Amino acid sequence: MRNLFNRQNLVALLGIVLLYAVIQGLIVFDIMPPFYKLTLILICIYIILSTSLNLINGITGQFSIGHAGFMAVGAYISAIVTAIHHGPLLLGLLAGAIAAALAGLVVGLPTLRLNGDYLAIATLGFGEIVRIVFLNTEYVGGAAGFTLSSKITWTWAFVLMVLSVILMKNFVSSTHGRACISIRENEIAAESMGVNTTKYKVIAFTMGAFFAGLAGGIYANYMYIIQPMTFSFLKSFDILVMVVLGGLGSMTGGIVGAIVMTLASALLASVPEWRLVITAVLLIAMMLFRPTGILGTKEFSLSFLGKKGDKNATSKN
Amino acid sequence: MGSSITQQIFQQIVNGLSLGSIYALIALGYTMVYGIIKLINFAHGDIMMVGAYAGWYAITVLHLSFLPALLFAMVACALLGVVIERIAYKPLRNASRIAALITAIGVSLFLEYGGMLLVTAQVRTYPPVFPETMYSFHGVIFKYGDIVMLLTSTILMVLLHITVQYTKMGKAMRAVSFDKDAALLMGINTNNIISFTFAIGSALAAAAGVLMGVYFNTIDPLMGIIPGLKAFVAAVLGGIGIIPGAMVGGLMLGLIESIVSGLGASTWRDAVAFLILILVLIVKPSGLFGKNVREKV
C-alpha cells in the first residue's frame, strides 16, 4: 500500500489516460474512420479475452481450449438482461460475467482433476455444448442469432479493459497468483509444499471465465447481433493463438498478442480467404522457431523507472 | 405396432453402425498416433477431408471406379501424413506437449483454409458410385452403400489388426509405443516407425473420407472438423492409445448418435457426443478399455 503512488504507477496511469484521451479526441472530432474504431474496440475485447485465458493456460499451467464457451455465456446472458429485460448496461455486463464465472466453476470443479490433453478436450467439449445449447434455444434466436442495440462506446470498452487487466495483474502478483505459478512449475512439488492445488486451479479457472464472460458481454452489446456460430471453437483457437503468440505466462505478452492478431486480421480483412492460412502458418512457424512466444514468460514493465525494491518478481521464476 | 417399433430400432442400429464405422476408422488414426507419440493430432479430421477430395478427384477427373479411387486417396493421404509429421511434428518431439498440440491446431487450420484456397469453399457433389439398390430384411432397409461401408471398414480393421499384431513392423510399433527409448536401444528405427504410424493412420482417415463422401454425397473443405472431433470422442471413449478401444468406441458413438436422432432430437446429437466425452473423462479418463496408470514422481 505504501508505494501505491510510486513513479512507476504514476507513469503507467499517465500513459493510460493519455492513450484514452487521444483516441477519444479522434473519435469525438470524427477524424477516426468507423473501421478503425471497430478495430480499437475489438482490441480491447481481445485483450480481456487473451489475458483471462493466459491466467488459466499461462499462469496456472492448465490447458483450456473452450474459452469461447464462457464468452458465449457472458454474451447471451448480458444480451438477455439488456435487450429483453431492458436492464442497464453495467448490470447486463456483470450478470454475463457472473454467469460465465458460475459456468466456469461448474465445469472446473470436476474437470480440473484431469491433466494436460484430457483437460483440453473436456473444455473443448464444454465450449461446443454451450454453443449447441444456444443454437437450440429459440428464446435467444436460435441459429439466426439475437439482435440488440449497440450501447458500448470506446470509453466503456477501454475502461473495462484497463480495470480487468489491472485486476488480473494484481491477482497474479498476489500470494494466490504465486500459488498458481507454483502449480504451473511443478504441480506435485506445489502440492507437497502445502498449496491446495485444486482450489487454486478452480480459482484461476473461475476468474478466467468471469473475464471471458465480461468480454463476451462487451462484444454482444457492441456488435448489434450475436450468433452461436461466432462462438465456435475457432474463436477459442483465435484467443489461444493470441496468448501463445504473446507468450504463455506473460500478462503483457497476452496484450501484445491480442493487439498484433487483431491488427493483422484487420489488415487482412480485404483478403479473408488468406487470413486463416496466414494465421496457421504463423502459428506453426512460431512453435517451431520460438515456442515461448514473443515475450516468453517475461513481463514488459516500467520497473526501470522505479527505485530498487520495485523489481518485478513475477517475471523471474 | 410392436413390430414397427422393433423395425425402427433395428433401422437405427443399421444407420448407427454405418456411421460408427466411419468414426471408428478416423478414431483408429487418432489413437495410433496418440499411442506412439502422445500427440492429439487435431489435423486428423482434416486429413480425412483431403482424402475425401482425393477420392472425388479420382472418381470425377480420373474416372476410376470405387476401389481404385479408395486406394488412390489412401496412398495420397499416407504421403500427406508422413510429410506433415516430418515438417511440423518431428522437430517438436522433445518440446512441451502444449507446443505440439498448438502446432497440430495450426496444421489443422492450414489444411482447412489452405484447402479452401485451393478448391474454393463451394460444396461439391460426390458422383453416385453405387447403385441406389436397397435390400429389405424384415422391414429393415439396408442401402447398398451401408453394406459397402461396413464391409470396407471391417476389412480395413482386420488388415490393421493383422499388421499390428503379426508383422515385424507392427511389433516394432507396439515396442515404440510401449517405451520409445528402450525400442531405440533395441535397434528399432523409431523415426521410421513413427512415420509408418502416421502413414497408416492417415490412409485409414482417407478411406473414411471417401466413404463419407459416398455416403453423404457432399464434401467441403470444413467437413473434417466435426467428424474429427467426434472420432476423437470415440477414441477417448474406448481408451485413447488402445486400438480395439477405438473400434468399439467409434461403433458405440455411431449407435448413440443414431438413437438420439431416432428419438427426434437430431439437433442435440453433437451435444450428446460431447457430454459423453466429458462424462467419460470425469468417471474413467482411461476409457472403457484402459488401465489406470499410477503417476510417478
Q: What is the pLDDT of residues A109-120, one digit of tens each?
A: 888 877 777 888
Chain A interface disruption, residue of B94, B98, B118, most A CBs within 10 A: B98
Rounding to the nearest 10 degrees, give the CA dihedral for residues B58, B18, B109, A49.
Answer: 160
Q: Which residue of chain A comes nearest to B104, CA vs CA?
A: A284
Fold category of B2-127+137-283 in CATH:
ABC transporter involved in vitamin B12 uptake, BtuC (1.10.3470)
pLDDT recorded at residue B292 = 63
pLDDT recorded at residue B119 = 87
Residue A240 · residue A53 · CB < 8 Å: yes
- Say whether A291 and B117 touch across the interface (CB within 8 A): no
| Rounded CA separation B211/B153 (Å) | 9
The three cell numbers of residue A263 are 491488427
pLDDT recorded at residue B270 = 83
pLDDT in tens, B148-188: 888 888 899 899 989 988 999 999 999 998 888 899 899 99
Residue B216 has pLDDT above 90, yes or no: no
Q: Could you give the 3-state DSSP secondary structure of residue B240? A: coil
Chain B partners within 8 Å of A281 (Cβ): 106, 110
pLDDT in tens, B131-153: 777 777 777 778 887 888 888 88
Residue B29 has pLDDT above 50, yes or no: yes
pLDDT recorded at residue B139 = 74
CATH architecture designation of domain A41-233? Orthogonal Bundle (1.10)
For residues A105-139, b (16+ Cβ closer than 10 Å) or e, as one string? eebbeebbebebbbbbbbbbbbbbbbbbbbbeeee
pLDDT recorded at residue B2 = 54
pLDDT recorded at residue B259 = 87
pLDDT recorded at residue A310 = 41
Chain B partners within 8 Å of A288 (Cβ): 88, 91-92, 103
- Say whether A118 and B271 touch across the interface (CB within 8 A): no
pLDDT recorded at residue A270 = 82
pLDDT recorded at residue A175 = 92
Choose among B274, B281, B297: nearest Cβ to A118: B281
Average pLDDT over residues B63-72: 90
pLDDT in tens, B230-261: 898 888 888 888 888 888 999 999 999 888 88
Residue B239 · residue B287 · CB < 8 Å: yes
Return the residue matching grid coordinates 510417478: B296
pLDDT recorded at residue A313 = 41
pLDDT recorded at residue B243 = 85
Distance from CA of A186 to the nearest CA of B (A): 11
Choose among B97, B102, B103: nearest Cβ to A116: B97
Count helices and strands in chain A by DSSP H and E runs: 12, 2
- Say whether B102 and A287 touch across the interface (CB within 8 A): yes
pLDDT recorded at residue A311 = 42
pLDDT recorded at residue A6 = 78
pLDDT recorded at residue A309 = 42
| Rounded CA separation B202/B74 (Å) | 7
In chain A, which stretches have pLDDT less than 50?
307-317
pLDDT recorded at residue B70 = 92
The three cell numbers of residue B37 are 507419440
pLDDT recorded at residue A317 = 36
Give the single-character DSSP code of A255: H
pLDDT recorded at residue A74 = 95
| Rounded CA separation B255/B269 (Å) | 11
Choose among A63, A125, A136: nearest Cβ to B278: A125
pLDDT above 70 as % of chain B: 97
DSSP string, A40-86: HHHHHHHHHHHHHHHIIIIIS------HHHHHHHHHHHHHIIIIIS-
How many residue contacts between A and B have a Cβ separation below 8 Å? 114
Residue B214 has pLDDT above 50, yes or no: yes
The three cell numbers of residue B183 are 525400442
- Say whether B281 and A114 touch across the interface (CB within 8 A): yes
Model-level pTM?
A: 0.86
pLDDT recorded at residue B54 = 94
Which carries the bigger pLDDT value, residue B177 or residue B129? B177
pLDDT in tens, A47-68: 999 999 999 998 998 888 889 9
Q: Helix crossing, A197-222 with A67-79: angle to 10°?
A: 50
Residue B21 has pLDDT above 60, yes or no: yes
Chain A partners within 8 Å of B102 (Cβ): 240, 244, 283, 287
